[in-house]
Structure 1
Amino acid sequence: MPFPSPNQSHPIKLQDGTSHRGTVFLKAVLDHPRIEVGDYTYMSAHQPLEQPADIAQRLAPYLWDFAPERLIIGKFCQIAHGVQFITASANHRMDGLSTFPFLVFGGGWEGRASRPESGPDTVVGNDVWFGTGAMVMPGVTIGDGAIIGAGAVVTKDVAPYTVVGGNPAQFIKRRLSDTDAQRMQSLAWWDWPIDHITAHEAEICGTDMDRLEQVSPK
């Protein structure tokens, strides 16, 4: 059976032939001007995921259509139930005597004293695994191949091919040495043609870096 298209909303088929409604390829279902998602990145939930607006709300509840910041997620990321990205528009002004957001209760947005400064984008690399209930705070960058533990609250950047967990999330271990992490990023298997990727699943999911480099189409 061919690998599903990244434009297929519900890519997992159950034994009875029906689609698993709780897993979606995000690129196929999202239509949000401030969210960019790469091919084959999926989100799973304990309930059916059907409506694009609801999915965007689950994923990034404070990222409004008119927000200045973006949420950018790479290819082949795995996003478990309850993961949320708290983007910069959720922030309150924190440099004044009060943090109360008077502006959200009317009177216009521009020129209000309680308006915070615009925040940075939140950026996720490729092949990143987010455990259940993880939360990513505004402006964080997460490198390729990282693992974010269940329930982690990520408040600062995560290096490629590292594992973090806890609240606030702390470094747990490296998945790969610095040298091998750089080799993986140079290979960028997530950019290979999908037929080549699936033909070499064993090498991609294995532990032999030399062998993976040998099968690279580059």
Structure 2
Amino acid sequence: MPHGFPAPDTRNPLVLPDGSLHEGTVFLRPAIDHPRWIVGDYTYASAHQVPDDWAQRLAPYLHPAAPERLILGRFCQIADGVVFVTASANHRRDGISTFPFAIFDGFGDNRPSLPGPDPATFPDTVIGHDVWLGQGARILPGAQIGSGTIVGTGAVVGGRVPPYSVVAGNPGRVVRRRFDDSRVARLLEVAWWDWPIGRILANEALICGGDAAALAGA
């Protein structure tokens, strides 16, 4: 890999000054073996206390037979304490009681206390590319977070978030856009995250800078 940059299948990509690996930082694609997760290359998560099971730590309600998926793009950054509250965490809420009687009684088919079989009841949670999820953020079932978005510490985010937004608070709200619409459109067209890693590293200064036109010409 150019400049010694770790390969995307490296589980622990962060090397400390003493040469040891930082066990609390992982590229998620090689760290997670779960049928309902889809993770892009170089997306990483960090934790102060290293979990035995990263999938369980990050998405505790997403069991292997769940109908929904958790989809993460490339180059996402997931801070300590982030939790994805996926759709299987939901209780039925269209009737008088939300109590899930069926889960304490062997589930069973079509139990009235379970959410209905409609696929819309179990939407996928989709995180775009190059999204930064700040410490302790909660991502709600079915959230659709656009590429380049920054989610602030402790934010609780649901619904659809436009690309290159900054989201904060509970409930999470877009507090500003990172770039104007024309620059956002250009950045989405460039889609630098899809480039080969050598080209990305060669253009690191442009990718980390603010000149979308220059990046488009790279």
Cα distance in 2 between the residues matched to 1:44 and 1:13: 14
What TM-score do the two structures reach when normalised by structure 1? 0.95
Give the Cα–Cα distance (whole angstroms) in 2 for the partners of residues 201 and 212 of structure 1: 10
Of stretches 96-105 and 110-119 in structure 1, the one that deviates more from structure 2 is: 110-119
Does structure 2 retain, via aligned residues, the 8 Å contact 1:10–1:21?
yes
Farther off after superposition, 112-121 or 162-171: 112-121
**Map of 1:18-29 to 2, 5 A cutoff?**
18-29=20-31
Q: Which runs of 5+ in 1 are unaligned?
A: none
**What SS class does the counterpart of residue 195 from structure 1 fall into?**
helix
Retained in 1: the 8 A contact 2:146–2:164?
yes
Of 3, 6, 15, which aligns to 2:8? 6
Distance 1:174 1:193 in 2: 28
Of 42, 45, 48 in structure 1, the residue corresponding to residue 47 of structure 2 is 45
Superposition deviation, residue 9 in structure 1: 0.4
Q: How many residues align?
A: 212
Kindly state the Cα deviation for residue 101 of structure 1 after the two structures are TM-superposed: 0.2
1:213 partner amino acid: A
Q: Find the counterpart in structure 2 of residue 97 from structure 1.
A: 96
Q: Which residue of 1 aligns with 2:200?
A: 197
CA apart distance, 1:48: 2.6
Q: 1:104-115 residue pairs with structure 2 within 5 A? A: 104-115=103-114
Percent identity, aligned pairs only? 57
Within 1, Cα distance between the matches of 2:67 and 2:76? Answer: 24
**Helix, strand or coil: the match of 1:190?**
helix
Letter in 2 for 1:41: T
Aligned-pair distance for 1:82?
0.4
Give the counterpart of 1:158 among 161, 164, 177.
Answer: 161
Tell me the SS of whatever aligns to 1:103. Answer: helix
Q: 2 CA distance for matches of 1:107 and 1:209?
A: 55
Give the match for residue 128 of structure 2.
125
DSSP-derived class of the 1:173 partner: strand
- Normalising to structure 2: TM-score of the pair? 0.95
Read off the aligned partner of 1:123 and give its amino acid letter. Answer: V
Q: Which amino acid is 1:44 matched to?
A: S
Residue 109 of structure 1, CA deviation: 3.1
Moved more, 5-14 or 106-115: 106-115
Give the 3-state SS of the residue equivalent to 2:161 in structure 1: coil
In the other structure, the counterpart of 2:71 is: 72
On the 8 A contact 1:109/1:115 being kept in 2, the answer is: no
Is the Cα–Cα contact under 8 Å of residues 101 and 114 in structure 1 kept in the other structure?
A: yes
Moved over 6 A (4+): none
Quick one: distance in 2 between partners of 1:143 and 1:129?
11
1:129-164, Cα deviation, whole Å (9 max, x unpaired)? 000000010011000000100000002211100101
Indicate if the aligned counterparts of 2:144 and 2:158 stay in contact, CA closer than 8 A.
no
State the shift of 1:171 in Å. Answer: 1.3
Give the aligned partner of residue 209 of structure 1: 212
